Structures are given as structure tokens and as C-alpha cells.
């Protein structure tokens, strides 16, 4: 898959950890910034990642800010996005199985690298279950 990744300054360090994890799992990373620890505005990077998915340039996205909260609020404003903030493995799995989440939001000031690796790996490998869950997703337009 092609995975768009975006972050703000609060997520920059964790992005540096996540990019090689995604690549080692066999995916192509499209890194849409930011590229330093300098203060930036997370909605700008959520917009870039959501556009990459909406235009079909990437299949899924990962957004990282300090808490994951701002990125998930920003990403879920786009109709084609189902963004899930996951900081442990159960919600990472369920966000794919039940919600077909196409964006994963992480908090760079919350997750350590080992847990981030676990969450990202589960999120990338878990398939959507479909069935009644598809019906519910369709209800949201």
C-alpha cells in the first residue's frame, strides 16, 4: 500500500520512528511533512494526508501530533476519512475490523516507540470485517 504520513512538531520525533516501520512492513511511505521540530499547525498536515487519500494517491494515512486528538478532529472533517486515534493494540485492531479506519492518529507525546510499532503493525495488517460493519459505515455517508 501507499501510506501518506503527516505530523506537526509534536509528532515529528515519532514520525521518524514510524516511517521505517511502515517501510519495513513492505509499504511505500509518502511523507507529507512536517520535516523539523519547528512549530506548525496540525490542520495543514491533516489536509495534505486526507487529500492524498481522496485523490487516490495513497490508500491510507497516518497522522501524528502531540496527543493524536487534534489530528483526529481535523481528519474526520473530511467526508471520505474515517480517522481513529489508537494508543493500544485493541483499538488499533477494532478500528480496522469494525470501522475500516483509513487514517490512524497517534500522539507523539503519549506513545513510546515499542508500543507505536505494535499499534502501527496491527493497524496495517488487520482487514476490515465487512458485513454489518459495512452497513454502519454506509449509514455515515
What residues line the site for ligand RB5 (CB under 6 A)?
8, 10, 42, 65-67, 69-70
Of 65, 80, 86, 105, the catalytic one is: 65
**Closest residue to ligand RB5, Cβ-based?**
70
Whether 27 is catalytic is no
**Residue pointed to by grid coordinates 494517491:** 57
β-strands 103-107, 83-85: how paired? Answer: parallel
Smallest gap from Cβ 65 to ligand RB5, in A, equals: 3
**Please, where are the H alpha helices in the chain?**
12-24, 42-54, 69-75, 89-97, 113-125, 132-139
Cell of 46: 491533516
Q: Establish whether the linkage from the previous residue to 34 is cis, with ω within 30° of 0.
A: yes
Smallest gap from Cβ 10 to ligand RB5, in A, equals: 3
Tell me the C-alpha distance between 17 and 66, whole Å. 14
Nearer to ligand RB5, 73 or 137 (CB): 73
Nearer to ligand RB5, 67 or 99 (CB): 67
Whether 133 is catalytic is no
Smallest gap from Cβ 71 to ligand RB5, in A, equals: 7
Give me the active site residues, please.
65, 98
Amino acid at each position: 500500500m501507499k501510506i501518506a504520513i503527516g505530523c506537526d512538531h509534536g509528532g515529528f520525533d515519532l514520525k521518524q520512528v514510524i516511517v521505517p516501520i511502515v517501510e519495513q512492513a513492505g509499504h511505500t511511505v509518502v511523507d507529507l511533512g512536517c520535516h523539523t521540530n519547528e512549530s506548525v499547525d496540525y490542520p495543514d498536515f491533516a489536509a495534505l494526508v486526507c487529500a492524498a487519500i481522496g485523490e487516490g494517491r495513497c490508500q491510507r494515512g497516518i497522522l501524528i501530533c502531540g496527543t493524536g486528538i487534534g489530528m483526529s478532529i481535523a481528519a474526520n472533517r473530511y467526508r471520505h476519512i474515517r480517522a481513529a486515534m489508537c494508543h493500544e493494540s485493541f483499538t488499533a485492531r477494532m478500528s480496522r475490523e469494525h470501522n475500516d479506519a483509513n487514517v490512524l492518529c497517534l500522539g507523539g507525546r503519549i506513545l513510546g516507540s515499542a508500543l507505536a510499532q505494535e499499534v502501527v503493525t496491527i493497524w496495517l495488517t488487520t482487514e476490515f470485517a465487512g458485513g454489518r460493519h459495512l452497513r454502519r459505515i454506509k449509514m455515515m455517508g
